[in-house]
C-alpha cells in the first residue's frame, strides 16, 4: 500500500521545527516523516507515502494535483488497489489562479507582491467573493473527487483540515450530503469537526497554530482507526522495486513552497522572540514558509 496525502498546512506539517535556533524545519525529510501522513505510514506499515500538501493551498489545487497524481499512477501500470488517497480539505475561500506562468495559491484578504496577481485578487475580493459560491464549490469538489476515485477503484479517506462552511440548503438530504457524512469522511467527534479543532482540544498537541509531532501522531492514530486494519490489509503491496521504477519515494513530498504574500516575513517574525532569530528565520524560510495564513 502506498499513501498519497494532500491538503493545506495542517497536512503539510507547518510549524514542525527541527532547528531549535531558528524554530523552523530545515530538513524536509524530517517534516515528511513526522507530519501525520508519515506517521500513518509507519502505523500501517505502508510501502511508502507522498505528502503533496501545501501551506495556504486551496481546494482547487487539491483536486487538480490529486487527479494528476492518480492519473500518473495508473498510467505507469501501478495497481489502483495499492493506493490509498487521503485528503484534508481546506477553507473554500482560498483559490488557485494561473498567473505569470505558474499556479498561485491565494487567500482573498491577502496582498501579493506580483502585480498581476495582486490586481486579480483585489478585483476578485471586491466583486466575486461569495459564501454561497464557496459552499457550492466545496461540496462539488468533494463529490467530484470522490466520484473520480471510486470510478478508478482507488481507496480514499477525507476530512476537513480546518473548519469549513456547511452544506448548502439546496443540497441537504441528497447524495452530495451523503458523501460528506458517509464512511469516507472522518470526523472523530461532534466537537471535532476538523483536524484543527481536534488537535487544539488535546494537551500539548499544538505549537502556535499548527499541530506539533504529538498532534500529528494523535491525528494519524485517528486516521488509522478510521481506515481500519482490515481495510488496510485488503490493499495490495506495491513494493519498493515498483516505486523505484515509477520514480516514487518511500517517504517524500512537496519540498519548497513559494508564496507571494507581502506580509509573509512579518508573520514568520511573530512566532520567534529575538531580532537575530527573526532575521535568521526570514532568510532560511522565505522560500518555504510554514506559517498558516
Residue 262's nearest CA partner among 60, 109, 55 is 109
pLDDT in tens, 256-282: 666 666 654 333 333 334 455 445 544
Q: Return the pLDDT at 189.
A: 81
Sign of the Cα torsion 282, 110, 168, 153 reads: negative
Domains of the chain from N-terminus onward: 2-97+131-256 (3.40.50.1110)
Q: Return the pLDDT at 21.
A: 66
Q: Return the pLDDT at 22.
A: 65
Q: Return the pLDDT at 275.
A: 52
For 96, phi and psi rounded to 5 degrees?
-125, 130
Q: Return the pLDDT at 112.
A: 87
Residue 52's nearest CA partner among 259, 279, 271, 248 is 248
For the chain, list residues with pLDDT below 50: 264-274, 277-278, 281-293
* CB of 3 closer than 8 Å to CB of 231: no
Amino acid at each position: 500500500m502506498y499513501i498519497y496525502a494532500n491538503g493545506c498546512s495542517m497536512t503539510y506539517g507547518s510549524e514542525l521545527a527541527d532547528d531549535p535556533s531558528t524554530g523552523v524545519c530545515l530538513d524536509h525529510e524530517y517534516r515528511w516523516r513526522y507530519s501525520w501522513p508519515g506517521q500513518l505510514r509507519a502505523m500501517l506499515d505502508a510501502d511508502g507515502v507522498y505528502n503533496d500538501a501545501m501551506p495556504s493551498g486551496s481546494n482547487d489545487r487539491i483536486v487538480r494535483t490529486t487527479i494528476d497524481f492518480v492519473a500518473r499512477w495508473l498510467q505507469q501500470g501501478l495497481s489502483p488497489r495499492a493506493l490509498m488517497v487521503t485528503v484534508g480539505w481546506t477553507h473554500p475561500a482560498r483559490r488557485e489562479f494561473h498567473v505569470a506562468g505558474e499556479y498561485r495559491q491565494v487567500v482573498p484578504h491577502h496582498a501579493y507582491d506580483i502585480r498581476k496577481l495582486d490586481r486579480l485578487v483585489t478585483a476578485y475580493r471586491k466583486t466575486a467573493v461569495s459564501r454561497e459560491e464557496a459552499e457550492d464549490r466545496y461540496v462539488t469538489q468533494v463529490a467530484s473527487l470522490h466520484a473520480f476515485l471510486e470510478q478508478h477503484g482507488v481507496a480514499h479517506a477525507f476530512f476537513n483540515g480546518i473548519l469549513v462552511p456547511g452544506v448548502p440548503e439546496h443540497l441537504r438530504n441528497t447524495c452530495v450530503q451523503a458523501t460528506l457524512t458517509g464512511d469516507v469522511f472522518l470526523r472523530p467527534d461532534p466537537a471535532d469537526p476538523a483536524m484543527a479543532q481536534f488537535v487544539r482540544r488535546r494537551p500539548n498537541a499544538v505549537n502556535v497554530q499548527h499541530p506539533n509531532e504529538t498532534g500529528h501522531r494523535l491525528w494519524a492514530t485517528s486516521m488509522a482507526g478510521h481506515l481500519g486494519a482490515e481495510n488496510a490489509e485488503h490493499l495490495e503491496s506495491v513494493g519498493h522495486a515498483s516505486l523505484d521504477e515509477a520514480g516514487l519515494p518511500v517517504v517524500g513530498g512537496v519540498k519548497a513552497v513559494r508564496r507571494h504574500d507581502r506580509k509573509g516575513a512579518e508573520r514568520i517574525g511573530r512566532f520567534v522572540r529575538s531580532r537575530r532569530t527573526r532575521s535568521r528565520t526570514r532568510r532560511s524560510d522565505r522560500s518555504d514558509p510554514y506559517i498558516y495564513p
